[in-house]
Chain A
């Protein structure tokens, strides 16, 4: 049976939980693969090599930078999942700030905190085979990538914008019809347009699409009443370290 290993780096655990949230598929999947490492689920941990490694989280400590190289060496396929692993995540907000100051705000004895000054995506350290976007990732996309790899085919992961998901779903554009600011036109597809479905503008948790045209979107966002400050905040949240322009 093919071996799967699930690894956690700096993260909230939400993307690995997405695998456990596949309630109907979890046990059938467990019949098809051998779980060699998945600390949130089992204490049984086996040495490599692994056929598929799934990695959640970003690199924020020297130890993590070492560990990801070892995992890459041990893994035939490396799939990185979620905004932390693909862009550095919300903790990449430190990349724009003074980390010494951050340490002293949160910790009484900041000298004990061993953290890098930046939070970086896995691809900044090793080659990755597939990336799943999202904060968190989409359950359906996770199953797609796993079943595709098990079947030996390329996964179908569209790199268009949330707008395409939104149109397919038959939703009315929140920006055009209500003047609600929405990052959908520049945000990577995959969530199924969750925010417009609840009358909310997309806030970009899947990060930028391929070749986003943010300069064209910014004047539209300003027309909905967003200030320069608000514009900076909305692009600097869950995928702050990604290239939006």
Chain B
């Protein structure tokens, strides 16, 4: 086997990811010297300008960190602020939040599976080219995405940056008959989701088995979405309030980007972690779908995250139908929340993985400090590690093929660079 002495791969602008990033790979002989995922998305300083804002504002303001997963930001922000104020939202209000979150999962996952990730497996440059070859399939993906957006439009008042979410609950809660109007669409979507799982399970998956620790929420009554306790594949649990003690950002010599570590180890959040730690919590049809496509109870091949996402779409639709079925309109659209001095923590499962918020509030309800740790920031070390493994195992490929495979490896994690930019350090070589 021959290796070219020195190779440098450079992807200046990563495509089919949310936000702006670049990849830099350097090898000498058979050795991978450097793999760097550069974030050149300009910083937006959210944590800074949240200081001094009113405690009711972070759900609307932090939603603007990411147009792809605004509900995740709203849910983690609400939970953290309610925690600081000693309030816990339960019952039908919680169920409605979960329903809204299902909408975001369906929409975000369908976008990633069909338009961003599947083209990699099928050899198309994008979803538009895929549609030219197989229009019916892409139309199925768009139908799914639309079903998710319909939930967000109805419960959230708008699919991107929903207007109906507030600390304590909602501004207006829908009548049961309004929600039942979604049932027909969702039942059809369930068939589309099952067909999706079958479709993606037929793709060819490069071998990769990652040893990273997995971190996801876990809870007693279902697959984790809107709340839960952080759980690690090593067997440890810790309360959300101790998140900052376990997940620590640090600087590494070869890069100016901040990397996160979990108890000083490389770790992964997102669909693989969520599924591997919670496959026993899936609903009936989703569990059957996972079994039918041969997923097993644990999945450590990031290339198969597309299959996990498809199963999670099935779950989110099933869960949405179940919430709608047992929905009764709450007597009030939100519980009263009075500010008090203190600190609150919130963690929910964004489509891309665990999203943590912390707020320090003053007695007058002003935000004194905010800390937001998005999933892609947590995954950056693991993503670079995956790329290193892939480059090492595929040295025989020519530059073009290897570069494509590296990009696919990054897309496995559906990175949301817009999210991570305000958090990660910022570096760029040249212009």
Residues of chain A whose beta carbon lies under 8 Å from any beta carbon of chain B: 8, 10-18, 20-21, 23-24, 26-27, 30, 35, 39-45, 60-61, 63-64, 89-91, 93-94, 97, 99, 101-103, 105-109, 112-115, 135-136, 191, 194-195, 197-200, 203, 205, 230, 233, 237-238
Query: Shortest Cβ distance from A125 into chain B, in angstroms?
Result: 15
Q: Is the CB of B65 within 8 A of A12?
A: yes
Knowing A102-B49, A106-B43, the reply to whether A14 touches B67 (Cβ < 8 A) is: yes
Q: Evaluate contact between A14 and B161: CB separation under 8 angstroms.
A: yes
Q: Is the CB of A13 within 8 A of B48?
A: no
- Determine the distance from Cα of A21 to Cα of B170 in the docked complex, in whole angstroms: 24
CA distance A35 to B418 in the complex (A): 22
- Complex: A17 Cα to B115 Cα, angstroms: 12
Contacting residues, chain A, for B142 (C-beta < 8 A)? 23-24, 26-27
User: Which A residues lie within 8 Å of B44 (CB)?
Assistant: 10, 60, 90-91
Q: Write 23 A-B pairs (CB below 8 A) sorted by A numbering.
A: A14-B161, A15-B67, A16-B67, A17-B160, A35-B128, A39-B20, A41-B127, A42-B127, A43-B126, A43-B407, A45-B15, A64-B42, A93-B45, A94-B49, A106-B47, A107-B426, A108-B251, A112-B256, A113-B426, A115-B43, A199-B333, A200-B166, A237-B60
**Which one of A20, A40, A97 contacts B48 once the chains associate, using CB atoms below 8 Å?**
A97
Closest to A44 in B: B125
In the assembled complex, the CB of B430 is this many whole angstroms from the nearest CB of chain A, namely 11
Asked whether B139 lies within 8 Å of A27 as measured between CB atoms, the reply is: yes
List the A side residues contacting B146 at CB < 8 Å: 23-24
Residues of A within 8 A of B125 (CB): 42-44
Contact indicator B16/A40 (Cβ below 8 Å): yes
Residues of A within 8 A of B149 (CB): 21, 23
Of the listed stretches B51-59, B208-216, B317-325, B383-391, chain A binds B51-59
Please, which residues of chain A bring their CB within 8 A of the CB of B15?
A: 39-43, 45
Report if A43-B42 is in contact (Cβ < 8 Å); known contacts: A23-B143, A35-B128.
no
Given A30-B128, A200-B171, A105 and B67 touching (CB < 8 A)? no
- Set of chain A residues within 8 Å of B164, measured between Cβ atoms: 198, 200
Which residues in A have their C-beta under 8 angstroms from that of B160?
A: 14, 17-18, 21, 136
Given contacts A109-B425, A199-B171, A230-B54, 6 further A-B contacts (CB under 8 A): A27-B142, A35-B128, A41-B15, A94-B48, A99-B45, A198-B164
A8 and B20 form a contact (CB under 8 A):
yes
- Closest chain-A Cβ to B123's Cβ sits at a distance in Å of 13
Question: Which residues of B lie under 8 Å from residue A197 when comparing CB positions?
Answer: 157
Any chain A CB within 8 A of the CB of B258?
A: yes
Give Cα distance in the complex from A6 to B60, angstroms: 26
Q: Is B135 an interface residue (CB 8 A)?
A: yes
Per the CB 8 Å criterion, the residue count for chain B at the interface is 70
The answer on a CB contact under 8 Å between A200 and B163 is yes
Residues in B with CB closer than 8 Å to A237 are 57, 60-61
B337-380 near A? 1/0 per residue, CB < 8 Å: 00000000000000000000000000000000000000000000
Q: Inside 8 A of A108's CB, which chain B residues have their CB?
A: 249, 251, 258, 425
B70 to chain A, nearest CB (A): 7
Residues in B whose Cβ lies below 8 Å from that of A115 = 42-43
| Complex contact B48–A106 (CB within 8 A) | yes
Verify A195–B157 contact, CB threshold 8 A.
Answer: yes
Residue in A61, A109, A191 whose beta carbon sits within 8 Å of that of B42 in the complex: A61
Instruction: Assess the B51–A11 pair: CB atoms within 8 A.
Output: no
Asked whether any CB of chain A lies closer than 8 Å to the CB of B96, the reply is: no
Chain A residues in 8 Å Cβ range of B143: 23
Q: Using an 8 Å CB-CB cutoff, how does the interface string of B401-431 with A read, 1 for contact, 0 for none? A: 0000001000000000010001101111001
* Distance, CA A97 to CA B48, complexed state (A): 10
CB distance from A90 to the nearest CB of B (A): 5
Cα(A94)–Cα(B51), bound, Å: 12
- Contacts A14-B161, A106-B48 given; does A233 touch B16 at CB 8 Å: no
Task: Kindly state whether residue B271 has any CB partner on chain A within 8 Å.
Answer: no
